[in-house]
Amino acid sequence: MFEFRLPDIGEGVAEGEVVQWFVKEGDTIQEDQPLVSVLTDKANVEIPSPRSGKIVKLHAPVGQKVKVGGLLVTIDAPAGPSASSAASPQAPPASAPATAPVPGAKPGPSPPAPSSSDRVAASPYLRRLAAERGIDLTKVRGSGPGGRVVEADLVGGAPSAAPPSTPSPVAEPRTRPEGAAPPPASSGTGTPLSIPASEIAERVPIRGLRRVIAEHMAEATHRAAHFTYVEEVDVSELVRIRDRMAKHVEKQGTKLSYLPFVVKGVVAGLKAHPRLNATVDDARSELIVRSKYHLGIATAAPDGLIVPVVRDADTKSVARLAREIGDLAERGRAGKLSRDELSGSTFTITSLGLLGGVMATPILNYPEVGILGVHKIQRRPVYRPDGTIGPADLMNLSISLDHRMVDGLEGAQFLAVVKGYLEDPHQLFAEMA
């Protein structure tokens, strides 16, 4: 019998949630055939079978989180290299929510047995909180599902023998930080709702990408102090320029939306106000101002919202940005983005296109300090400086900022720069000359 354990599937990943099994007990599977899809950090990893044989037992049902090194499946496999002599597990590239086969996820020696504190069922956020309070989690009785430690359990918890360790050097922040906010009540904490069965149409488990999104949104609102500022922009000239450029860009097979122009305007605003191109390291009470302009573009995918990243956006033309944004969105919806393409953003833009509405209050992509909402363009009558009334193409921009790090004045000044570039888009091309 071969016991296959969850391999190391990426830097900083401590656990994964089983999203889909491609086999059932009693099935016969071939080596490298898709075995299981595991969700980690907003990306699915499709793990192939390490051996050929018969599936004896699936140890983790769909929706269960498994730690790296945790038992996934037992396979009745012919004699072969033992787990201890196999090659070390490699970290396969991750895909977005819809999975695609990923090579290189061969199993290797099982990771060392976790320490007693690692075996405690608790989120990274709770572990950090316990460390800050000097509480030994091995001496805390969890009241959550399956004995999981929840925040209420830390009140009066047993102090640990040693003080919290000194923080390690600052690591590159990721789109989704290691610390996770307390899960919402619907994910299993708190008192279950009492609703008459006759009034329930369906019970939909909150799992997979939807649970990751819920935890991420809860953490963003739990940690950051949101405030939103809205500005109206006259994009009449931008509409004319975009219409003329589209004819040429679309000959190359690329659709030209307004988003690449917004990206260029945002980069100009971030250069003028670099504190908005930053991420917060709450563990060290530091604002990390970033030297690169990696813009996250919020994108709707079949299983939920994802944020592909346009790297070095300041170095790319409008046409190239259009191609890259279109490619990222298409592959994101198909589930073919790597982990690197879904992480590392320094500022995020979210747009609903034609459904952009009048205004919104976007939630920060924590630990970033700013996110820009782009709304639909509408033609309306406006007063001209000469006192006449005429038509104009108007659009609202709404920016949400972390008020702990950014004052309202600076946020307004940033948006004024973006507005200036979109109202006079010729500046975007003059900068590139």
Supply the residues annotated as catalytic: 403, 407
For every residue of 259-281, DSSP letters joined together read HHHHHHHHHHHHHHSGGGSEEEE
- Please, what's the b/e burial string for 181-213 (b: 16 or more CB within 10 A of its CB; e: otherwise)? bbbeeebebeeeeeeeeeeeeeeeeebbbbbbb
> Which residue reads 């996250």 in tokens?
296
| DSSP calls for 32-45 | TSEEEEEEETTEEE
Quick one: DSSP state of residue 150?
-
Pick the closest to residue 260 from 303, 213, 319 (CA basis): 319
Eight-class DSSP state of 143: -
Residues 294 and 346: their CA atoms lie apart, in Å, by 5
The C-alpha atoms of residue 105 and residue 92 are separated, in whole angstroms, by: 5
The amino acid sitting at 341 is E
Q: What is the rounded CA–CA span in Å between residue 157 and residue 137?
A: 8
Long-range contact pairs involving 274-277 (C-beta distance under 8 Å, separation at least 24):
275/369, 275/405, 275/406, 275/410, 276/347, 276/369, 276/370, 276/401, 276/406, 276/410, 276/411, 276/414, 277/346, 277/347
Q: What is the DSSP letter of 228?
A: E
Angle of helix 408-423 versus helix 259-272 axis, rounded to 10: 130
User: Looking up tokens 């401590």, which residue turns up?
Assistant: 14
How far, in Å, are 135, 141, 178, 189 from residue 152 at the CA level? 13, 11, 21, 10
Tell me, rounded to whole angstroms, the distance of Cα 123 from its chain centroid.
Answer: 17
DSSP per residue, 56-105? EEE-S-TT-EEETT-EEEEEE--S---TTTSPPPP-PPPB-SS----TT-
Q: 80: exposed, middle or buried (C-beta count within 10 Å: 0-12, 13-18, 19+)?
A: middle
